[in-house]
Structure 1
Amino acid sequence: MNALRNLFKDRTGFPEVVVPLADAPTPPNAEKMSGSDVESNANSLDKASSQEKGAYVPQGDVLTLEGLRAEVESALASSGHDSAYDRKAKIINRAIQDIGMGRYQWELFFVCGMGWIADNLWLQGVALTLTQLSLEFNISESHVRFTTCALFVGLIVGASFWGIASDAIGRRPAFNITLFLCAVFGLAAGGGPNWIGTCALYACLGLGVGGNLPVDAAIFLEFLPFASGNILSMLAIFWSVGNLIASLLAWAYIPNYSCSGAEACTKENNMGWRYLVLTLGAITMLMFCVRYFWFTLYESPKFLVARGRQSEAVAAVQGIAYRNKAKTWLTEEVLNEIGGYPEETEDQTLTYTEVIKRNLSKFSGNQIKPLFATKRLGITTVLIWFIWTCIGMGYTLFNAFLPQYLSSNTTTYETYRNYAITAVVGLPGPVLACYTVDLKYVGRKGTMAVSTMLTGVLLFCFTAVDNPKTQLVCSALESFFQMIMYGVLYAYTPEVFPAPNRGTGSGIASCLNRIAGLCAPIIGIYASSNPSAPIYASGALILVSFVAMLLLPIETAGKQAL
């Protein structure tokens, strides 16, 4: 198995997939583009050029070394960096984009989806254990919500740490370690000795879960052609799958192996939540094994160039072409001709300190300022960050405590059955979003706004009725539209920011989302003694997000990223 997994390491390249630069598939009019057009093309691809296997078909113009050099120089003019590393990174970007969408990207889509599964698997899994933790450890139903705070502390620290660490130690180690940490501490949490110990273990597993989305998203976006950009919305399906798995397992375990409020609760008669957590940990470990042993993840070519491992970077790109049954023009000679030969150019590699400084510089004033370069872009940036903050708090206020809300009017069995039904209904939401985001009169903004509005309205309907069946209908429909909302928002956010500052804009949005999620349980505990108050607040926050979406001045459907 190790020999299979390390097959790539034993090869110096895939010469059978290499073609001369002049014979390489290339977008039409590659040499006739102005500076702004070249920058756009260097960071994204034209949908109309996508052909079978995701490769480009020549349209009369030939990509030459001089033309490629012009593209790179134009792209670097607005990036703020111009070293041998930066030049070679731009060339690698172009080579990967010319290879197009294929088998490697689809397999990567599947294994990256496991990170999305783990994220919601544990977010919902922890929520599903709150009632039983309250009974077993004699914690009030209000204060047991601090358990969710512990998880979010881990999520925030994990997202911050692994986002930087993946640039220092490489994408591949971070890609595997995050899921492994999640699995190990998840299994350990199943044996939590007391409430404080269980919260600590939840926080530790959050360190792994929190790193999944930033690392997985960075890997997937790095290899995804622009023509397949709507697939980003499809990743939310895996988020729904995580919710579904946790819900079905909770329905199977907790009603059958748990105590009720009418009897003394001990570890022996309240094993349901432990069985749930142990099973979730085992599933996470299985996903780690699939990632580690089944899928051959090529290390980030740009990371390899930064570490001075140029031949491995070229072999990685050629490996992607080989897996896709496509061709590539990338060779070390092309890299050296434009980026400089290693023996002649000193700045071929970046030290660990430089890597970290570059990563941290994304959040400096020099990196944030371009997000406000124009009035239109500045308004968009503020609105996007505001939307992510509101939704982060609104989502957690309702979904993280939904089992507690449902249990007030139903039996334990009905509570977890209804939660599972809600998860099933939400599953097809991202699939619908994948098609509506490219409709002419709907687009990203229309899909987001309509689904967000309906989500907020359904939250108020949930609190306005006391009938459990009507509440089930409201929560199920809310789940469906909520998954559409999240799926499109995940795709729209990176598209709307300029490429050189995309990581900064998206990173701040994600950070605000997690911080708001951390604050949500505290608000739910202390804001009001009325159990419906957090749901009202959730609905209001979602509707405020809907208004903000209507004000977004940029529509990205059918357009290249900046």
Structure 2
Amino acid sequence: MAVINSSENLSDELKADLARVDASGLDPGYERKIFLVNKVLQEEIGMGKFQWQLFALSGYGWLVDNIWLQGVAIILPQVGNEFFDAQHTPWMTFSLYMGLITGAALWGIVADIIGRRPSFNATLFIGGVFGVAAGAAPSFTALGGLLAALGFGVGGSLPVDGMLFLEFIPGSHQYLLTLLSVFWAIGQLISSLLAWAFIANYSCTGSNSNPQPDPTVAPQYCDVSTNNGWRYTFYTLGAITLTGFFLRFLMFQLPESPKYLLSQGRDAEAVAVLRDIARRNGKELPEDVMSLAILRAAAGEEHNEAEDDALPVVDNGLKSVARDFMRIPSDLVKSVKGMNAQSFKPNMAHINPLFATKKVAYNTITLWLIWGFIGLAYPLYNSFLPTYLNERFVGSGVATAASTDATYRDYAIISACGVPGSIIAAWLVELPRSGRRGALAVSTLLTGVFVFAVTGASTDTAYLGLNCANSLVQNSMYGVLYHMTPESFPAPARGTGDGVASSLNRVFGSMAPIIKIYAGTKAPSAPVFTSAAIFCLAAFLAATLTVEGHGKSAL
């Protein structure tokens, strides 16, 4: 591999890389190093055992995020029965979103400040502990608080896991970032099947809501001791989450991202990590292909040969990973202390690349708006889908064992229909004419169309069929969105850009239970129509994005 040491011998490929819209505002030396790292990942290291293991563990994080998002939606009817507060159960969704908002923003920013690895391990640990605790909640208020803490943990899974995986894979396999969303769909399916198994069989069928909406109907209170299905569901989901943490923490032992290390000026460590990845893939990375001298020469920087003898050894051992994990609070304190004490201005190095030019700024703001709008539209319908199904089967009467079983049976079927959507999305993003933008615009528009159509379904079969179609295109939409977001931001600002996007998704999503409570009671179809309209608006915005990642390696 030729050394790139001056502007005169730049390859056409590198010149095109330097001219990219999303490269605006980056240090040219850093970008040349990233170009070289991408070449090494593509041509020397390739897609091997290390990346496939990371694919599975990153996908596990996405799975966990959705099992809890769907898990909370699933338990709402039974929580209302147990705590005599069916009218206000949407506030449980609001509590979860409060945690998701802070978690998404914090963990994304933390990943830019202290590294990807600590965030990667911490999110599942926090989510698992508080998920199990939520299953033992003694009161309505306690459940809300525990769900907020749970959300704080798992809220970082999507932004951190996606960008981390992107930074370790060769450009030819970036479509796998879209395929990660299949885990999101599987997470929904797991929640649905667990609910069908536990809630349908270990739940009371009467109502604890007081007073009865119809005074002519005799109250049918249920025995709370027979209503443990939702608790069993939460215990199981908590165990699944903690299993993912132990797989990451004890078995895989992830090294730090080389692109993050380069963004921090830790070039020697980045070279050491690349060699470690090659070894874990059963290959060797020769000195004449990747060394500290070559990396510095690529950026036109001076190199001290004495540094070659002191190249650090990558420590992925349990003690090292544990130290990173325990270091999070102290590193955050140091970061805050490092702010300019006189002007109180924070370090903008993680923000400026997101607004370097008008095109970049427009793409950043539009992408964030899309995340926000979809964040509102999705839970307006999906977070209350079990409730909608339950209302359809029960009508104005009292729930029965048969209606409860039918509710969770149909929810499991709808969840299963969504799994192929992620696979379709991985194919769509590689189409040269449509690319990421076209795939996102089309899938989002179809989602809006099918949500509109659901409101007109006159039979149970039509209702189920339209929901299945909606689940398919909806998972395609999220798969593309999860792909193109980290791909649109360069590594120095990727965590921040991704974290803000995910946080806005949760901020807007937190409005869904409020709309459901106050608008849905007067006009039951209002939240659904609102959801469909917002999806259509997001589709229009997607078509106007200025950054297209098709055929390019992530910076």
Q: By the TM > 0.5 criterion, same fold? A: yes
Matched, 1:127 2:109: no
Q: Tell me, in whole angstroms, the C-alpha distance in 1 between the residues paired with 2:184 and 2:9.
A: 39
How far 1:252 moved relative to its partner? Answer: 0.6
How far 1:434 moved relative to its partner? Answer: 1.2
The residue number in structure 1 matching 2:157 is 212
Matched, 1:299 2:267: no
Contact 1:362-1:368 at 8 Å conserved across structures: no
The residue number in structure 1 matching 2:358 is 373
Contact 1:163-1:215 at 8 Å conserved across structures: yes
Matched, 1:353 2:335: yes
1:482-534, Cα deviation, whole Å (9 max, x unpaired) = 00111112222344456765555444332221111112111221224222211
- Change in Cα spacing, 1:312 to 1:439, as seen in structure 2 (3 Å) is closer
Matched, 1:418 2:410: yes
The residue number in structure 2 matching 1:385 is 368
- SS at 1:427 equivalent: helix
Contact 1:148-1:521 at 8 Å conserved across structures: yes
The residue number in structure 2 matching 1:472 is 464
How far 1:94 moved relative to its partner? Answer: 5.5
How far 1:353 moved relative to its partner? Answer: 3.1
Q: Tell me, in whole angstroms, the C-alpha distance in 1 between the residues paired with 2:505 and 2:422.
A: 20
Q: Tell me, in whole angstroms, the C-alpha distance in 2 between the residues paired with 1:355 and 1:479.
A: 46
The residue number in structure 2 matching 1:32 is 11
1:261-303, Cα deviation, whole Å (9 max, x unpaired) = 3542344110000000001011111122222223231123455
Q: How does 1:400-419 map to 2 (within 5 A)?
A: 400-410=383-393, 411-419=403-411
1:217-236, Cα deviation, whole Å (9 max, x unpaired) = 23112112222221111011
- SS at 1:409 equivalent: helix
Matched, 1:315 2:298: no
1:456-479, Cα deviation, whole Å (9 max, x unpaired) = 121122111242222111111100
Q: Tell me, in whole angstroms, the C-alpha distance in 2 between the residues paired with 1:436 and 1:209.
A: 28
- Change in Cα spacing, 1:416 to 1:91, as seen in structure 2 (3 Å) is same
1:397 maps to a residue whose letter is L
The residue number in structure 2 matching 1:331 is 291
How far 1:404 moved relative to its partner? Answer: 0.4
The residue number in structure 1 matching 2:240 is 283
Q: Tell me, in whole angstroms, the C-alpha distance in 1 between the residues paired with 2:191 and 2:139.
A: 22
Q: How many pairs does the alignment contain?
A: 496
2:107 maps to a residue whose letter is W
Matched, 1:452 2:444: yes
How far 1:126 moved relative to its partner? Answer: 0.7
1:277 maps to a residue whose letter is F
The residue number in structure 2 matching 1:532 is 525
How far 1:537 moved relative to its partner? Answer: 0.8
- Change in Cα spacing, 1:174 to 1:546, as seen in structure 2 (3 Å) is closer
The residue number in structure 1 matching 2:511 is 519
Q: Tell me, in whole angstroms, the C-alpha distance in 2 between the residues paired with 1:78 and 1:116.
A: 31
Q: Tell me, in whole angstroms, the C-alpha distance in 2 between the residues paired with 1:250 and 1:362.
A: 45
- Change in Cα spacing, 1:341 to 1:526, as seen in structure 2 (3 Å) is farther
Q: Tell me, in whole angstroms, the C-alpha distance in 1 between the residues paired with 2:107 and 2:363.
A: 27
Between stretches 91-100 and 514-523, larger displacement belongs to 91-100
Matched, 1:159 2:104: yes
How far 1:362 moved relative to its partner? Answer: 5.0
Q: Tell me, in whole angstroms, the C-alpha distance in 2 between the residues paired with 1:297 and 1:127.
A: 33
Q: Tell me, in whole angstroms, the C-alpha distance in 1 between the residues paired with 2:276 and 2:493.
A: 29
Q: Tell me, in whole angstroms, the C-alpha distance in 2 between the residues paired with 1:246 and 1:440.
A: 36
- Change in Cα spacing, 1:443 to 1:94, as seen in structure 2 (3 Å) is closer
Contact 1:40-1:560 at 8 Å conserved across structures: no
Contact 2:108-2:495 at 8 Å conserved across structures: no
- SS at 2:255 equivalent: coil
Query: Unaligned stretches of 5+ in structure 2?
Result: 208-219, 313-330, 340-344, 394-402
Of residues 434, 437, 447, the one that matches 2:429 is 437
Q: Tell me, in whole angstroms, the C-alpha distance in 1 between the residues paired with 2:85 and 2:50.
A: 49
- SS at 2:366 equivalent: helix
Q: How does 1:46-195 map to 2 (within 5 A)?
A: 78-80=25-27, 95-98=40-43, 99-141=45-87, 143-195=88-140
Q: Tell me, in whole angstroms, the C-alpha distance in 2 between the residues paired with 1:513 and 1:144.
A: 21
1:218 maps to a residue whose letter is M
Q: Tell me, in whole angstroms, the C-alpha distance in 2 between the residues paired with 1:444 and 1:303.
A: 24
- Change in Cα spacing, 1:221 to 1:339, as seen in structure 2 (3 Å) is farther
Q: Tell me, in whole angstroms, the C-alpha distance in 1 between the residues paired with 2:302 and 2:31.
A: 8
The residue number in structure 2 matching 1:239 is 184
Contact 1:405-1:531 at 8 Å conserved across structures: no
Q: Say what the alpha-carbon RMSD is for the aligned residues.
A: 3.5
Q: Tell me, in whole angstroms, the C-alpha distance in 2 between the residues paired with 1:300 and 1:551.
A: 31
Q: Tell me, in whole angstroms, the C-alpha distance in 1 between the residues paired with 2:116 and 2:439.
A: 33
1:138 maps to a residue whose letter is F
Q: What is the TM-score of this pair, normalised by structure 2?
A: 0.80
1:384 maps to a residue whose letter is L
How far 1:359 moved relative to its partner? Answer: 8.8
1:39 maps to a residue whose letter is L
Contact 1:97-1:223 at 8 Å conserved across structures: no
Q: Tell me, in whole angstroms, the C-alpha distance in 2 between the residues paired with 1:171 and 1:90.
A: 20
Q: Tell me, in whole angstroms, the C-alpha distance in 2 between the residues paired with 1:491 and 1:519.
A: 25
The residue number in structure 1 matching 2:542 is 549
Matched, 1:250 2:195: yes
1:140 maps to a residue whose letter is A
1:156 maps to a residue whose letter is I
- Change in Cα spacing, 1:503 to 1:257, as seen in structure 2 (3 Å) is closer
1:248-271, Cα deviation, whole Å (9 max, x unpaired) = 000111111001235423441100
2:16 maps to a residue whose letter is D
2:426 maps to a residue whose letter is C
- Change in Cα spacing, 1:153 to 1:273, as seen in structure 2 (3 Å) is same
1:412 maps to a residue whose letter is T
Q: Tell me, in whole angstroms, the C-alpha distance in 2 between the residues paired with 1:167 and 1:531.
A: 43
- SS at 1:361 equivalent: coil
Q: Tell me, in whole angstroms, the C-alpha distance in 1 between the residues paired with 2:455 and 2:9.
A: 57
Q: Tell me, in whole angstroms, the C-alpha distance in 2 between the residues paired with 1:100 and 1:354.
A: 38
Q: Tell me, in whole angstroms, the C-alpha distance in 2 between the residues paired with 1:35 and 1:303.
A: 20
The residue number in structure 2 matching 1:72 is none
Percentage of identical aligned residues: 43
Q: Tell me, in whole angstroms, the C-alpha distance in 1 between the residues paired with 2:346 and 2:279.
A: 31
The residue number in structure 2 matching 1:224 is 169
Q: Tell me, in whole angstroms, the C-alpha distance in 2 between the residues paired with 1:484 and 1:246.
A: 19
How far 1:450 moved relative to its partner? Answer: 2.5
Q: Tell me, in whole angstroms, the C-alpha distance in 1 between the residues paired with 2:175 and 2:113.
A: 30
Q: Tell me, in whole angstroms, the C-alpha distance in 2 between the residues paired with 1:553 and 1:79.
A: 17
2:382 maps to a residue whose letter is N
